[in-house]
Structure 1
Amino acid sequence: MNITDVRIRKLREDGKMKAVVSLTFDDAFVVHDIKVIEGQNGLFVAMPSRKVGEADYRDIAHPINQETRTMIQDIIFEEYEKAKNLTGEEFFEE
């Protein structure tokens, strides 16, 4: 399985949510609404989820093992840093 496309769809400077990402796997399957969140210990990736009950959320899609989670996080963080450092373009959402 290869990640063949990473799209930073929204990028924010304020608040805890820093970006919304879409990943394409093997040019055949896409996962939308992956979030880059600023937590107490730095950035982390939150998989797409839906609300279940009053205050609980359940992931809709997520990696099964740590190796895959690390691969996904590494490529998302790399593309996030590139998007943040774009010059001459207004990339941040208001």
Structure 2
Amino acid sequence: MNITDIKIRRTYQDNRLRALVSITVDGELAVHDIKVIEGPERLFVAMPSRRDDNGVFRDIAHPITTAARRQVEDSILAAYQEHMAAKQQEDAAVGHASGNHPDEHASAQ
């Protein structure tokens, strides 16, 4: 199994949900609505799920083997970290280019 594409669809900062992600497997199968969640000790990946008639959440799609699960999680978390690092650099560059320096604003007040 090769994960041929990972798209960080949306990121969040307000709660434990950090991102919604889509992946493509072998260039032939897309899986959407994978969640990156902030756990008590680390980030983890939750596969897309829905609530059944009994109120129990069931995965819609998920890796079968431990190795496949590890591959999916490691790939998604690496892509998420890269995305967030690039976003942080972009935000810093925009702030620097516009003259917004947080330390200067704090001392000017």
* Fold match (TM-score > 0.5): yes
Query: Which residue of structure 2 aligns with residue 83 of structure 1?
Result: 83
Tell me the CA shift for residue 3 of structure 1. 0.5
The structure in which a higher percent of residues are helix is 2
Spell out, residue by residue over 1:62-92, the C-alpha distance to the aligned partner (whole angstroms, 9 max, x if none): 1111100000011101000011111225xxx
Which sections of structure 2, spanning at least 5 residues, go unmatched?
92-109
Q: TM-score, normalised by structure 1?
A: 0.88
Q: Which has the higher contact order (CA 8 A, sep 6+)?
A: 1
When Rg is computed on C-alpha atoms for both structures, the one with the higher figure is 2
Verify: 1:11 aligned to 2:11, yes or no. yes
2:54 & 2:16 partners in 1: Cα distance?
Answer: 22
Q: Percent identity?
A: 46
Tell me the CA shift for residue 55 of structure 1. 3.3
Q: TM-score, normalised by structure 2?
A: 0.77
Moved over 2 A (4+): none
1:11 & 1:18 partners in 2: Cα distance?
Answer: 5
**RMSD of aligned residue pairs (Cα, Å):** 1.2
1:10 & 1:54 partners in 2: Cα distance?
Answer: 30
1:78 & 1:37 partners in 2: Cα distance?
Answer: 14
Spell out, residue by residue over 1:30-76, the C-alpha distance to the aligned partner (whole angstroms, 9 max, x if none): 00000001112211100000111353210000111110000001110
1:55 & 1:44 partners in 2: Cα distance?
Answer: 23
Tell me the CA shift for residue 7 of structure 1. 0.2
The structure in which a higher percent of residues are strand is 1
2:53 & 2:40 partners in 1: Cα distance?
Answer: 26
